[in-house]
């Protein structure tokens, strides 16, 4: 990994930590589940820098976030898998395979949410809580709809602006 890529990866890690912490300070812990602020730097970093950098951003941001108090360990235990899937898939599909940004986003989002639900299901099974998976998926999706709408606007817009700027030359 080049020095430039390492610095940019670190920048996205910092953003993936600072943005959610700021949201939680201003709006309380429920705002994270609704607006999904950690997802945005993970997606953008992965799509601009590739799947490996995206994975680093996702894992480090979640782990450092736990030490700072958000997300709580229980939520982080599935978020780390969810965000890793977002990073690996969106980075691979968009950066490596040059697939349309919206297609890359939706595939990564669906797979990542499915993995999160699977991990939640396993966790509930381990502690012997009998809950239907469909209920969890509907509520998780419904609560995060505002965040998904924001992501659909912000992620392509920011990537487009960065690619049009001189910064794009630094990413190559």
The CATH number of the domain holding residue 43 is 1.10.1760.20
Check: CB of residue 4 under 8 Å from CB of residue 21.
no
Report the C-alpha gap between 145 and 140 in whole angstroms.
Answer: 9
| Distance (Å, whole) CA 2 – CA 145 | 37
Give, in order, the Cα–Cα distances in Å from 37 to each of 15, 96, 118, 154, 163. Answer: 10, 25, 22, 11, 22
Please list the pLDDT of the chain residue by residue as tens digits (172 residues).
899 999 999 999 999 999 999 999 998 878 988 999 999 999 999 999 999 999 999 999 999 999 999 899 989 999 999 999 999 999 999 999 999 999 999 999 999 999 998 998 888 888 877 766 666 667 777 889 999 999 999 999 999 999 888 666 666 6
Residue 47: strand, helix, or coil: helix
Q: Which domain holds residue 16?
A: 3-171
Please count the structural domains in the chain: 1
**What's CA 29's distance to the chain center, in Å?**
17
Which residues, including other chains, have CB under 8 Å from residue 156's CB and lie 6 or more apart? 101, 102, 105
The pTM is what? 0.93
């Amino acid at each position: 990994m080049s020095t430039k890529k390492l610095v940019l990866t670190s920048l996205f890690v910092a953003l993936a930590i600072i943005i959610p912490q700021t949201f939680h300070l201003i709006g309380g812990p429920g705002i994270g589940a609704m607006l999904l602020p950690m997802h945005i730097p993970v997606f953008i970093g992965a799509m601009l820098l590739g799947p490996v950098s995206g994975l680093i951003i996702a894992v480090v941001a979640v782990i450092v976030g736990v030490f700072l108090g958000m997300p709580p360990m229980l939520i982080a235990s599935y978020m780390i898998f969810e965000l890793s899937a977002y990073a690996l898939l969106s980075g691979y599909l968009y950066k490596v395979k040059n697939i349309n940004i919206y297609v890359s986003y939706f595939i990564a989002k669906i797979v990542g949410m499915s993995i999160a639900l699977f991990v939640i299901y396993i966790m509930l099974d381990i502690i012997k809580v009998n809950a239907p998976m469909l209920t969890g998926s509907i509520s998780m999706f419904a609560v995060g709809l505002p965040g998904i709408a924001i992501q659909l606007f912000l992620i392509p817009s920011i990537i487009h602006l960065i690619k049009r700027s001189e910064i794009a030359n630094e990413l190559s």
